[in-house]
Protein backbone atom coordinates (compact mmCIF):
# COMPACT_ATOMS: atom_id res chain seq x y z
CA UNK A 1 0.00 0.00 0.00
CA UNK A 2 1.38 3.38 -1.00
CA UNK A 3 1.59 6.32 1.38
CA UNK A 4 -1.22 8.07 -0.51
CA UNK A 5 -3.48 5.03 -0.23
CA UNK A 6 -2.70 4.64 3.46
CA UNK A 7 -3.56 8.31 4.08
CA UNK A 8 -7.05 7.69 2.67
CA UNK A 9 -7.63 4.53 4.70
CA UNK A 10 -6.05 5.41 8.03
CA UNK A 11 -8.72 7.83 9.23
CA UNK A 12 -11.45 5.19 8.80
CA UNK A 13 -9.82 2.52 10.97
CA UNK A 14 -10.80 2.25 14.65
CA UNK A 15 -8.31 3.83 17.05
CA UNK A 16 -6.70 1.20 19.34
CA UNK A 17 -8.12 1.30 22.88
CA UNK A 18 -4.76 2.06 24.46
CA UNK A 19 -4.14 5.03 22.15
CA UNK A 20 -7.66 6.32 22.87
CA UNK A 21 -7.03 6.30 26.61
CA UNK A 22 -9.24 3.28 27.34
CA UNK A 23 -6.43 1.11 28.62
CA UNK A 24 -5.65 -2.45 27.57
CA UNK A 25 -2.64 -4.05 25.99
CA UNK A 26 -0.89 -2.37 23.03
CA UNK A 27 -1.64 -3.96 19.69
CA UNK A 28 1.17 -6.12 18.42
CA UNK A 29 0.74 -5.39 14.71
CA UNK A 30 0.47 -2.27 12.57
CA UNK A 31 -2.90 -1.67 10.93
CA UNK A 32 -1.16 -0.97 7.66
CA UNK A 33 0.34 -4.49 7.74
CA UNK A 34 -3.13 -5.94 8.28
CA UNK A 35 -4.58 -4.02 5.32
CA UNK A 36 -1.73 -5.21 3.10
CA UNK A 37 -2.31 -8.81 4.20
CA UNK A 38 -6.04 -8.68 3.45
CA UNK A 39 -5.41 -7.09 0.06
CA UNK A 40 -2.88 -9.80 -0.77
CA UNK A 41 -5.39 -12.53 0.15
CA UNK A 42 -8.16 -11.00 -1.99
CA UNK A 43 -5.87 -10.27 -4.95
CA UNK A 44 -4.44 -13.80 -5.06
CA UNK A 45 -7.55 -15.74 -4.02
CA UNK A 46 -5.72 -17.79 -1.39
CA UNK A 47 -7.02 -19.36 1.80
CA UNK A 48 -6.45 -17.65 5.14
CA UNK A 49 -4.14 -20.48 6.22
CA UNK A 50 -2.01 -19.94 3.09
CA UNK A 51 -1.01 -16.42 4.17
CA UNK A 52 2.74 -15.96 3.42
CA UNK A 53 5.12 -15.73 6.36
CA UNK A 54 5.96 -12.14 5.38
CA UNK A 55 2.63 -11.07 6.87
CA UNK A 56 1.41 -11.42 10.49
CA UNK A 57 -0.05 -14.84 11.47
CA UNK A 58 -3.28 -15.51 9.62
CA UNK A 59 -5.45 -15.87 12.79
CA UNK A 60 -4.51 -12.32 13.78
CA UNK A 61 -5.13 -10.99 10.25
CA UNK A 62 -8.54 -12.66 10.16
CA UNK A 63 -9.39 -11.34 13.64
CA UNK A 64 -8.66 -7.78 12.54
CA UNK A 65 -10.63 -8.23 9.30
CA UNK A 66 -13.63 -9.71 11.15
CA UNK A 67 -13.60 -6.83 13.62
CA UNK A 68 -13.50 -4.20 10.87
CA UNK A 69 -16.20 -6.04 8.90
CA UNK A 70 -18.55 -6.19 11.89
CA UNK A 71 -17.99 -2.49 12.61
CA UNK A 72 -18.86 -1.60 9.01
CA UNK A 73 -15.36 -0.34 8.23
CA UNK A 74 -14.91 -2.57 5.15
CA UNK A 75 -18.23 -1.42 3.67
CA UNK A 76 -17.38 2.22 4.38
CA UNK A 77 -14.02 1.87 2.63
CA UNK A 78 -15.76 0.43 -0.43
CA UNK A 79 -18.36 3.22 -0.46
CA UNK A 80 -15.75 5.96 -0.28
CA UNK A 81 -13.55 4.43 -2.96
CA UNK A 82 -16.49 4.04 -5.34
CA UNK A 83 -17.51 7.64 -4.74
CA UNK A 84 -13.96 8.84 -5.37
CA UNK A 85 -13.75 6.90 -8.65
CA UNK A 86 -17.09 8.28 -9.83
CA UNK A 87 -16.07 11.86 -9.06
CA UNK A 88 -12.76 11.35 -10.87
CA UNK A 89 -14.83 10.41 -13.96
CA UNK A 90 -16.86 13.60 -13.71
CA UNK A 91 -19.90 11.88 -12.20
CA UNK A 92 -21.84 12.58 -9.04
CA UNK A 93 -20.80 10.55 -6.02
CA UNK A 94 -24.19 8.81 -5.82
CA UNK A 95 -25.37 6.76 -8.83
CA UNK A 96 -28.75 7.40 -10.46
CA UNK A 97 -28.86 4.30 -12.67
CA UNK A 98 -27.81 0.70 -12.18
CA UNK A 99 -27.27 -2.42 -14.25
CA UNK A 100 -28.12 -5.98 -13.23
CA UNK A 101 -26.06 -8.85 -14.63
CA UNK A 102 -25.55 -12.40 -13.45
CA UNK A 103 -23.39 -15.49 -13.73
CA UNK A 104 -24.46 -19.09 -13.17
CA UNK A 105 -21.97 -21.51 -11.63
CA UNK A 106 -22.17 -25.23 -11.05
CA UNK A 107 -22.79 -26.24 -7.45
CA UNK A 108 -20.92 -28.96 -5.62
CA UNK A 109 -22.78 -32.09 -4.57
CA UNK A 110 -22.67 -30.85 -0.97
CA UNK A 111 -24.92 -27.87 -1.82
CA UNK A 112 -28.49 -28.51 -0.68
CA UNK A 113 -31.31 -28.77 -3.21
CA UNK A 114 -33.17 -25.86 -1.63
CA UNK A 115 -30.36 -23.42 -2.47
CA UNK A 116 -29.66 -24.58 -6.03
CA UNK A 117 -31.60 -24.56 -9.29
CA UNK A 118 -31.32 -25.20 -13.03
CA UNK A 119 -30.48 -22.41 -15.46
CA UNK A 120 -32.25 -23.59 -18.62
CA UNK A 121 -30.52 -21.02 -20.81
CA UNK A 122 -26.96 -22.01 -19.86
CA UNK A 123 -27.73 -25.65 -18.92
CA UNK A 124 -26.19 -25.22 -15.47
CA UNK A 125 -27.40 -26.82 -12.25
CA UNK A 126 -26.21 -24.72 -9.35
CA UNK A 127 -26.34 -21.17 -8.09
CA UNK A 128 -26.43 -17.74 -9.69
CA UNK A 129 -24.59 -14.61 -8.59
CA UNK A 130 -26.48 -11.39 -9.40
CA UNK A 131 -24.51 -8.15 -9.52
CA UNK A 132 -25.93 -4.66 -9.32
CA UNK A 133 -23.44 -2.08 -10.62
CA UNK A 134 -23.54 1.54 -11.66
CA UNK A 135 -23.00 2.45 -15.33
CA UNK A 136 -19.23 2.49 -14.78
CA UNK A 137 -19.32 -1.13 -13.60
CA UNK A 138 -18.68 -0.27 -9.93
CA UNK A 139 -20.33 -2.65 -7.50
CA UNK A 140 -23.52 -1.59 -5.69
CA UNK A 141 -24.93 -4.91 -4.50
CA UNK A 142 -24.60 -8.71 -4.70
CA UNK A 143 -27.24 -11.44 -4.37
CA UNK A 144 -26.71 -15.23 -4.54
CA UNK A 145 -29.73 -17.31 -5.55
CA UNK A 146 -30.56 -20.69 -7.14
CA UNK A 147 -29.53 -20.66 -10.80
CA UNK A 148 -33.19 -20.78 -11.89
CA UNK A 149 -33.73 -17.18 -10.65
CA UNK A 150 -33.95 -14.57 -13.40
CA UNK A 151 -32.36 -11.13 -13.33
CA UNK A 152 -35.84 -9.59 -13.29
CA UNK A 153 -36.71 -11.39 -10.04
CA UNK A 154 -33.33 -10.64 -8.50
CA UNK A 155 -33.78 -6.95 -9.33
CA UNK A 156 -36.91 -6.87 -7.17
CA UNK A 157 -34.67 -7.72 -4.21
CA UNK A 158 -31.47 -5.89 -5.15
CA UNK A 159 -32.93 -2.54 -6.14
CA UNK A 160 -35.06 -1.80 -3.03
CA UNK A 161 -32.06 -2.65 -0.84
CA UNK A 162 -29.81 -0.40 -2.94
CA UNK A 163 -32.34 2.45 -2.96
CA UNK A 164 -32.28 2.51 0.84
CA UNK A 165 -28.60 3.54 0.51
CA UNK A 166 -28.71 5.45 -2.80
CA UNK A 167 -31.78 7.69 -2.83
CA UNK A 168 -31.19 8.84 -6.39
CA UNK A 169 -31.13 5.32 -7.88
CA UNK A 170 -34.14 5.13 -10.20
CA UNK A 171 -33.32 3.26 -13.42
CA UNK A 172 -32.28 -0.35 -13.68
CA UNK A 173 -31.51 -1.86 -17.11
CA UNK A 174 -31.22 -5.65 -16.99
CA UNK A 175 -28.87 -7.36 -19.43
CA UNK A 176 -30.67 -10.66 -19.80
CA UNK A 177 -33.55 -12.01 -21.83
CA UNK A 178 -37.10 -11.39 -20.59
CA UNK A 179 -38.20 -13.59 -17.71
CA UNK A 180 -40.09 -16.80 -18.41
CA UNK A 181 -43.58 -17.35 -16.95
CA UNK A 182 -42.36 -20.38 -15.01
CA UNK A 183 -39.95 -18.38 -12.89
CA UNK A 184 -41.49 -14.92 -12.67
CA UNK A 185 -44.65 -12.86 -12.92
CA UNK A 186 -45.47 -9.77 -15.03
CA UNK A 187 -44.27 -6.42 -13.75
CA UNK A 188 -47.10 -4.40 -12.20
CA UNK A 189 -47.48 -0.68 -11.57
CA UNK A 190 -46.76 -1.33 -7.91
CA UNK A 191 -43.50 -3.07 -8.85
CA UNK A 192 -42.48 0.01 -10.84
CA UNK A 193 -43.18 2.28 -7.90
CA UNK A 194 -41.33 0.00 -5.46
CA UNK A 195 -38.37 -0.98 -7.63
CA UNK A 196 -37.76 2.02 -9.88
CA UNK A 197 -37.86 1.91 -13.67
CA UNK A 198 -37.06 -1.67 -14.72
CA UNK A 199 -35.84 -1.91 -18.32
CA UNK A 200 -35.11 -5.63 -18.90
CA UNK A 201 -35.22 -5.50 -22.70
CA UNK A 202 -32.79 -2.60 -23.16
CA UNK A 203 -29.50 -4.11 -24.22
CA UNK A 204 -27.39 -0.93 -24.46
CA UNK A 205 -27.11 2.26 -22.43
CA UNK A 206 -25.93 5.74 -23.35
CA UNK A 207 -23.04 7.22 -21.40
CA UNK A 208 -22.68 10.92 -20.64
CA UNK A 209 -20.41 11.32 -23.66
CA UNK A 210 -23.21 10.04 -25.90
CA UNK A 211 -21.53 6.74 -26.71
CA UNK A 212 -23.35 3.44 -26.26
CA UNK A 213 -22.01 0.73 -23.98
CA UNK A 214 -23.31 -2.86 -24.09
CA UNK A 215 -24.91 -3.71 -20.74
CA UNK A 216 -23.31 -7.14 -20.78
CA UNK A 217 -19.83 -5.59 -20.75
CA UNK A 218 -20.62 -3.38 -17.75
CA UNK A 219 -21.27 -6.36 -15.48
CA UNK A 220 -18.68 -8.60 -17.13
CA UNK A 221 -15.89 -6.35 -15.92
CA UNK A 222 -16.83 -7.02 -12.30
CA UNK A 223 -17.16 -10.75 -12.93
CA UNK A 224 -13.72 -10.76 -14.54
CA UNK A 225 -12.26 -9.20 -11.38
CA UNK A 226 -14.00 -11.92 -9.34
CA UNK A 227 -12.33 -14.60 -11.44
CA UNK A 228 -8.93 -12.97 -10.97
CA UNK A 229 -9.53 -13.05 -7.20
CA UNK A 230 -10.40 -16.75 -7.31
CA UNK A 231 -14.06 -16.32 -6.32
CA UNK A 232 -15.75 -17.36 -9.56
- Digit-by-digit pLDDT tens for the chain (232 residues) are 889 888 888 887 877 655 455 656 666 788 899 999 999 999 999 999 999 999 999 999 999 999 889 988 888 888 888 888 999 989 888 888 888 888 898 988 788 888 889 988 888 999 999 888 888 888 888 899 999 988 888 888 888 888 888 887 776 655 543 444 334 444 444 444 444 444 444 444 444 554 555 544 455 555 554 443 333 3
CA angle 154, 229, 214 (to 5 degrees): 50
Q: What are phi and psi of 152, to 5 degrees?
A: -60, -45
Cα distances (Å, whole numbers) of residue 159 to 69, 110, 153, 168 = 23, 31, 10, 12
31-44 vs 3-10: helix crossing angle, rounded to 10: 110
Query: What pLDDT does 114 receive?
Result: 83
Query: What pLDDT does 174 receive?
Result: 53
Closest CA to 195 of 152, 229, 147: 152
Query: What pLDDT does 94 receive?
Result: 87
Length of the chain: 232
Query: What pLDDT does 36 receive?
Result: 94
Query: What pLDDT does 48 receive?
Result: 94
Amino acid sequence: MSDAEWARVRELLPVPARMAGRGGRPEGYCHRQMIDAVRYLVDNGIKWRAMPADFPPWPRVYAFFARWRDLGVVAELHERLREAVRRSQGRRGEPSAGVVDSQSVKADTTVTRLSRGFDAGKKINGRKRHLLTDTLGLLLGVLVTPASTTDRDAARILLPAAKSRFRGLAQLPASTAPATPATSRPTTDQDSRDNGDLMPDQQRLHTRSGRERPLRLVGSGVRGQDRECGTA
